[in-house]
Chain A
Amino acid sequence: MITNDERERRMDPEQQSSSGAVPPPIRRIRVDTSPTVAPSRPTHAAETLRPTRGAAGPERMTIDGLSVFYGPKEAVKQVSLPIRQGEVLALIGPSGCGKTTLLRTLNRLTELTASARREGQITLDGTDIDDIEVTALRRRVSMVFQQPNPFPMSVFDNVAYALREQGSKRPSRKVLEPYVVDALQRAGLYDEVAHDLSHPALRLSGGQQQRLCIARALAAGPEVLLMDEPCSALDPKSTAVIEDLILELRESLAIVIVTHNLQQAHRVGDHVAFMYLGDLVEYAPGDELFTNPRAERTRDYVGGVFG
Chain B
Amino acid sequence: MATSMPPRTPLPPLRVPGQPTGGPPPKKRRANESISTWRLTDRIGYFLMWAAGLLVVAIGLGIVGFMAIKGLQYLRPVLLTSHPQADLDQSKSGGFFDPLVGTVLLTVIGIAIATPIAVATAVWIVEYGRPTWLARVIDSGIEIIAGTPDIVLALFGLVLFQQGIFGWMSFRAEDGAVFGRSFLTAGAMMSLIALPMVFAATREGLQAVPAHVREASYGLGKTRAATIRRVLLPSVKSNISTGAALGMGRIAGDTAIVVVLLGASLRLDPEGGIFGILQGTGGTLTSYVYNNSPAGEGNAAQKAYAAAFVLLLIVIGLNFAVDAIARRGARANGIETSRLGGS
Does B bind A?
A: yes
> Among the listed B1, B19, B31, B221, which residue makes an inter-chain contact with A138, where contact means beta carbons less than 8 Å apart?
B221
Take A4-B37, A203-B334 as given contacts and tell me if A151 and B217 are in contact as well, using a CB distance cutoff of 8 Å: yes
By a CB distance below 8 angstroms, the chain B residues around A107 are: 219
Tell me the bound Cα distance from A108 to B39 in angstroms: 58
> Among the listed B13, B31, B216, B223, which residue makes an inter-chain contact with A143, where contact means beta carbons less than 8 Å apart?
B216
A6 CB, min distance to chain B CBs, angstroms:
8
A50 in the interface (beta carbon within 8 A) = no
Within 8 A of A (CB), among B123-182: none
Majority DSSP secondary structure for residues of B touching A: loop
Pull 10 A–B residue pairs with CB atoms less than 8 Å apart, ordered by A: A22-B7, A26-B4, A28-B1, A109-B218, A139-B221, A143-B216, A151-B235, A217-B219, A217-B220, A220-B220
Chain B interface: which of A7-15, A66-74, A255-263, A291-299? Answer: A7-15
- In the bound complex, do residue A153 and residue B234 qualify as a contact, i.e. CB atoms below 8 Å apart? yes
By a CB distance below 8 angstroms, the chain A residues around B223 are: 135, 166
B78 in the interface (beta carbon within 8 A) = no
Take A139-B221, A200-B332, A220-B220 as given contacts and tell me if A145 and B215 are in contact as well, using a CB distance cutoff of 8 Å: yes
Take A11-B24, A200-B332 as given contacts and tell me if A149 and B212 are in contact as well, using a CB distance cutoff of 8 Å: yes
- In the bound complex, do residue B220 and residue A138 qualify as a contact, i.e. CB atoms below 8 Å apart? yes
- In the bound complex, do residue A1 and residue B217 qualify as a contact, i.e. CB atoms below 8 Å apart? no
Interface string of A138-153 (1 = CB under 8 A from B): 1100110111010111
By a CB distance below 8 angstroms, the chain B residues around A3 are: 33, 37
Q: Determine the residue in chain A with the shortest Cβ distance to B26.
A: A4
Q: Determine the residue in chain B with the shortest Cβ distance to A203.
A: B334
Give residues in B with beta carbon < 8 Å to A.
1-2, 4-5, 7-8, 10, 13-14, 16, 18-19, 22, 24-25, 31-34, 37-39, 210, 212-213, 215-223, 225-226, 230-231, 234-235, 332-334
Tell me the bound Cα distance from A6 to B213 in angstroms: 44
- Interface size (A, Cβ < 8 Å)? 46
B114 CB, min distance to chain A CBs, angstroms:
24
By a CB distance below 8 angstroms, the chain B residues around A6 are: 14
A216 in the interface (beta carbon within 8 A) = yes
B213 CB, min distance to chain A CBs, angstroms:
5
Take A1-B19, A19-B10 as given contacts and tell me if A216 and B332 are in contact as well, using a CB distance cutoff of 8 Å: no
